[in-house]
A and B are shown apart, each in its own frame.
Chain A
Amino acid sequence: MASRSSSSTAAGGSDSPQKPTKTKRTRRKTRKARAVGDMSRQMGESHRRFLQTMMVSGVIDEQAAKALYQYCCETHHTQYAPDKLEDFIDIINSRLQPMFMQIRKGMSEDNGLQYYALVNMAETDITRMSSDYADNELELFRKTMDLIVCSENGKASSTDILNSTDSMTTRKMKKSETEHLLSRLVHDKWLSEKRGEYTLSTRCIIEMEPYIRTMYQDHVKVCHICRNIAFQCQICENPTCGIKIHNPCVARYFKGKSEPRCPSCDDFWPHEIPEVKRPHSQSRR
């Protein structure tokens, strides 16, 4: 990591030239990196190109990330080790941290694949979207999120969303405005839509996870297998158990098991076990 030398116009008595906004963990990592050899932690053109692509795309699946990583290294004649994507991203993240931005990883609830998203960590609030959406649009988005989080299947129907405009406190939205907003939210990758039902997009979940955990701590479901927040999931029907498992986590956990049993209470798992989905080249979220 390139350390910036303190400028002469800054406070003369300043000590470390390093960025001050470091957690203990980052500090430990930096020390370790320095021990290994600083050159390996330098940010180069390949990292910048990767970051620029993330800025344009917002979110990409793991396979695309690996291809992009390779492409960036090859374009800028940087040493490329196929299994070092995480390290590569770490270097970028270490430089993004002062701006409260990160490239974070998360699982899609639809296909179980891992995705990388460039997220804004500065606000734990929905206000991160505020430069693009009006007050009443944000309110409607919050209401949609309420519906999704509190639902059993992690979905909100367009009817329910339209009905929720009745209780808006900001300027009410007409039906056409609501529909237009929803399609914008889908286009901007905050929501996903299938057959008139809306779910939180993978990018949204990755970015809003801390906010959701805080705001909905009583309602939010957590996957028993991977420990991340869960919306589209299966629930154990034992009333004393009731654990939740993401659909893709169900697929993976119960794969090949002739008699699926709840990992917590050992009751028979009554739900249909989905198939494990394979990555395909055109997946985009």
Chain B
Amino acid sequence: MTQRKRPSSTQSSSQRRHTGNLVAQDEDDDVAFTQPSTSQVDQKTAEVVQYFLVKDQKKMPVRRADLVKHVVKDYRNIYPEILKRAARTFDQVFGLKLVEIDPKNKMYILVNNLETPDKASPIRSPSNPKMGLLLAILSVIFMKGGVVRENLIWNTLKKLRVDPGEKHEEFGDVRKMVTDEFVRQRYLEYVRIPHTEPIEHEFRWGQRADAEVSKAKILEFMGEVSLPSRARLHLQMKLRALMMVCVSDLSFMNRTPRPGLSSTERPTPSPTPARPPPAAAAAVRDNHATASPAFFLFIVCDREAAPAAFC
């Protein structure tokens, strides 16, 4: 499938075509600018915002080099100003935060900046099972101290009836989704362990996960027992049992959660009111190696609106 971002040249011509309010732009075009007018800067800012929104829909990070090449173009001398304004727009208009996830390679993502509300939204957003699966993986990694050999993940998934060796009804090629898609989206890192034969990899949280999912909240989320629909209750019980088996060492529980770059929370999963965090929160505080198990929730969870994170 063609993956095309909106070419900005098409944009400017169509803008001119049907929006009479851009007359000023035509005049400015011919001027050799060393100092772009405010309107030009604003227009470039708007284009950058659009570019980000399209890219972010796919959860792909935006590279500075691509941004300059495809959108900013001749205005690269004022790139920092344009980016600053774009960040302000994201913040003020969309409630999103522009986050640099890779200072060396200059890559950016958009992260939700709105706080998680206490009450669930009246709008049922379409559920995204991939995110549920991802959360399960992130939780396992977290509970194992931040890095995990790949076999543990594969075994966990198998026990959750998502076999990486088989084509899954919902996820398709599971292995590819986890090692390729999630990695490209920067939710996970999949790194080869040196000197292993046969080759083994380990999983870590990716930069987007760091920015979007605060680890303190994962704990709270795992501890929270939400009231599921009857259809999911069975699955939830099963999951709990399985997770207890998969993760045995909980001694790291008292580790200070790494400060997330944003306060993006995991949305409250169910439309029905969640019970206040019960015993599991106490379990966290108790912090024994064989303490009460962490509870997992369902793979398919209803989400609240958190478009930047889980669209």
Contacts and interface: CB of A to CB of B under 8 A. Distances in A.
Contact of A99 (B41, B49, B118): B49
Dominant SS at the B interface?
A: helix
Interface stretch (A5-13, A236-244, A271-279): A5-13
A23 B49 contact: no
Given A96-B93, A123-B10, A45 B123 contact: no
B39 A131 contact: no
Contacts of B6: 122-123, 127-128, 130-131
A131 B81 contact: no
Given A4-B85, A52-B306, A21 B10 contact: no
Interface string A122-161: 1111011011111101000000000000000000000000
A52 B114 contact: yes
A71 B304 CA distance: 13
Given A2-B92, A135-B2, A45 B114 contact: yes
B38 A17 contact: yes
A100 B15 contact: yes
B19 A21 contact: yes
Interface in A267-285: 284
A65 to B, nearest CB: 9
Interface residues of B, number: 59
Contacts of B46: 21, 98-100
A51 interface: yes
A24 to B, nearest CB: 8
Contacts of B84: 7
Q: Which of B11, B17, B43, B114 has the most CB of A within 10 A?
A: B114
A45 B305 contact: no
Given A52-B112, A100-B46, A71 B305 contact: no
A19 interface: yes
B128 to A, nearest CB: 10
A45 B116 CA distance: 12
Contact of B42 (A21, A122, A123, A284): A21
B36 interface: yes
B14 A123 contact: yes
Nearest to A124: B18
B38 A57 contact: no
A135 B2 CA distance: 7
Given A11-B36, A48-B94, A131 B15 contact: no
Interface stretch (B20-28, B157-165, B187-195): B20-28
A111 B245 CA distance: 51
A75 interface: yes
A43 B90 CA distance: 12
Given A53-B305, A131-B3, A10 B88 contact: no
Interface in B119-164: 119, 121-126
Interface centre among A4, A124, A128 (most CB of B within 10 A): A4
A11 B6 CA distance: 28
A16 B39 CA distance: 10
Interface residues of A, number: 55
A53 B15 CA distance: 27
A29 to B, nearest CB: 13
A60 B307 CA distance: 15
Contacts of B38: 6, 10-11, 14-17, 20
Nearest to B112: A52
A75 B42 contact: no
A157 to B, nearest CB: 26
B306 A10 contact: no
Contacts of B14: 122-125
Given A11-B35, A21-B19, A99-B50, A52 B93 contact: no
Nearest to B303: A56
B95 A48 contact: yes
B37 A133 contact: no
Residue from B38, B43, B306, B308 having most chain A Cβ neighbours under 10 A: B38
Contacts of A4: 85, 88
Given A64-B122, A95-B92, A122 B49 contact: no
A11 B21 CA distance: 21
A22 B20 CA distance: 9
B54 interface: yes
Interface in B68-124: 78, 81, 84-85, 88-89, 92-96, 112, 114, 117-119, 121-124
Given A56-B306, A56-B307, A131-B6, 10 more contacts: A10-B41, A43-B92, A49-B114, A53-B125, A56-B305, A64-B122, A75-B118, A95-B93, A131-B4, A131-B57
30 contacts: A7-B81, A10-B35, A10-B41, A10-B81, A14-B37, A20-B39, A20-B42, A21-B19, A21-B21, A21-B42, A43-B92, A48-B93, A49-B114, A49-B305, A52-B96, A52-B114, A52-B307, A52-B308, A56-B126, A57-B125, A64-B123, A67-B123, A95-B89, A99-B50, A99-B53, A100-B15, A124-B14, A133-B2, A134-B2, A135-B2
Interface of B: 1-6, 10-11, 14-15, 17-22, 24, 35-39, 41-43, 45-46, 49-50, 53-54, 57, 78, 81, 84-85, 88-89, 92-96, 112, 114, 117-119, 121-126, 305-308, 311
Q: Report, nearest first, the 7 A-B pairs whose CB atoms are least far apart.
A: A48-B95, A20-B39, A14-B38, A53-B305, A67-B122, A11-B35, A55-B307
